[in-house]
């Protein structure tokens, strides 16, 4: 299979997206870019462009949060 399986369920699709993306995120303290400074993935996000809903997680909180950009 070349791509992630498509789902008609938005929650399932968003969860699958973040599961895939988290597999390649950069953890803190692994990539020192200069003495005492480290590169890491601060946040991940995706958006439902049809509904205007932004989904995101942060490094310190892997819970998927949503913001309706229409409100």
Residue 46 lies in a domain: yes
Residue 43 lies in a domain: yes
Domain count, the chain: 1
Computed over every residue of the chain, the mean pLDDT equals: 92
Residue 4 lies in a domain: no
The pTM for the full model equals 0.84
Residue 51 lies in a domain: yes
55 closest CA partner among 69, 23, 8, 64: 64
Question: What is the pLDDT averaged over residues 34-47?
Answer: 95
58 closest CA partner among 39, 41, 40, 43: 43
Residue 63 lies in a domain: yes
Q: What range defines the domain where residue 23 resides? A: 10-68
Question: What is the pLDDT averaged over residues 42-67?
Answer: 96
Residue 20 lies in a domain: yes
């Amino acid at each position: 299979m070349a791509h992630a399986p498509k789902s008609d369920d938005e929650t399932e699709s968003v969860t699958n997206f973040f599961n895939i993306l988290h597999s390649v995120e950069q953890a803190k303290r692994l990539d020192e870019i200069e003495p005492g400074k480290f590169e890491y993935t601060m946040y991940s996000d995706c958006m439902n462009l049809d509904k205007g809903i932004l989904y995101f997680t942060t490094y310190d909180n892997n819970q998927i949060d949503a913001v309706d950009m229409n409100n």
